[in-house]
Amino acid sequence: MTVNAPLSGTVVALADVPDPVFAGALVGPGVAIEPDAGATLVCAPIAGTLVKVKPHAFVVLDDSGRGVLVHLGIDTVKRNGAGFQVLATEGSQVAAGDKVISWDPVAIRDAGLSAVCPVVALDATAISDPASGTVASGDAIFSWA
Amino acid sequence: MAERLVAVANADGLHARPAALFVKAVTEAGIAVTIGKAGAAGGADARSILAVLALDVRHGDQVVLRADGDGADDALDRLAALLADANV
């Protein structure tokens, strides 16, 4: 399965994310994206069911039971949704690229938080073909066999 | 079957960080553990971060941990203490 960038920005290794739980791949393997200032629209990285949507994070489950987590920023759960707008409905079917959340990465940085977005293959042993450099929303960022 | 009922203490519930630390502890315990919301039927595989996140456990929610076999009681005591710790 190819997992796509949910938003535009620069790929960052998960190990370099400023949170030891994500950086240590405890949530799972994946990559992270440092969003462009204008990357306000966050889209589904794969097709599937939007099994969980919070203002700051969501999980899409594909039909083989694999789930991908997109987490917008670090410690952003503490924002309690401020600055995030959920655009899709939990439980709905999404195609890769469908919009899920709207946010402002610049506002998150202004609030003193990291806006880097881990994209994680939940319960995976490993991922392959991680992208590097700049990516546009929808570009492939890793493969999950 | 050993069982523990515990209220999740983390102010933000079982979000990504505490969920991942919990799953790590379950895996290290080396036995099969299930986790479910109190009052709900069945339980999810506590070794699956996907299953734990999908439960959407909020601050103060009571969850039931279940495990069987040798070491189940000790393992559940440790896991329940982890969930009851507001600082994890």
Measured CA angle at A102 (ends A89, A137), to 5 deg:
100
User: Does a structural domain hold residue A78?
Assistant: yes
**Which residues span the domain enclosing B10?**
2-83
User: Does a structural domain hold residue A23?
Assistant: yes
Query: Any idea what the CATH number is for the domain that residue A95 is in?
Result: 2.70.70.10
B16 closest CB neighbour out of A61, A67, A71 = A71
pLDDT along chain A (145 residues), means of 10: 98 98 97 97 98 97 97 95 97 98 97 97 97 98 95
Per-residue confidence (pLDDT) for residue A145, from 0 to 100: 85
Cβ pair B46, B26 in contact under 8 A: yes
Angstrom distance (rounded) from CA A67 to CA B10 = 24
User: Does a structural domain hold residue A33?
Assistant: yes
Instruction: Give the list of residues 6+ apart from residue A112 with CB closer than 8 angstroms, or none.
Output: none
Residues of A at the B interface (Cβ-Cβ below 8 Å)?
19, 21-22, 26-28, 51-52, 54, 57, 59, 61, 67, 69, 71, 77-78, 122-123
Task: Using an 8 Å CB-CB cutoff, list chain B residues near A22.
Answer: 16
Phi, psi of A50 (to 5 degrees): -80, 80
Label residue A144 left, alpha or beta by phi (over 0 means left) and psi (-120 to 50 means alpha): beta
How many domains is chain A partitioned into structurally? 1
User: Does a structural domain hold residue A39?
Assistant: yes
Per-residue confidence (pLDDT) for residue A118, from 0 to 100: 98
User: Does a structural domain hold residue B26?
Assistant: yes
Per-residue confidence (pLDDT) for residue B88, from 0 to 100: 85
User: Does a structural domain hold residue A134?
Assistant: no
How many domains is chain B partitioned into structurally? 1
Task: Using an 8 Å CB-CB cutoff, list chain A residues near B20.
Answer: 21, 26-27
Tokens of A24: 């240590």
Per-residue confidence (pLDDT) for residue B42, from 0 to 100: 81
Query: Any idea what the CATH number is for the domain that residue B27 is in?
Result: 3.30.1340.10
User: Does a structural domain hold residue B88?
Assistant: no
CA distances (Å), A98 to each of A10, A45, A114, B19, in order?
Answer: 20, 9, 24, 27
Residue B41 pLDDT > 90? no
Check if A71 is active-site: yes
ipTM of the modeled complex:
0.92
- The model's confidence at residue B86, banded by pLDDT at 50, 70 and 90, is very high
**Which residues span the domain enclosing A21?**
2-127
B53 closest CB neighbour out of A21, A69, A78 = A69
Tokens of A38: 């204008």
B54 closest CB neighbour out of A26, A51, A77 = A51
Q: What is the pLDDT of residues B3-12, one digit of tens each?
A: 999 999 999 9
User: Does a structural domain hold residue A57?
Assistant: yes
Q: Kindly report the pTM of this predicted structure.
A: 0.96
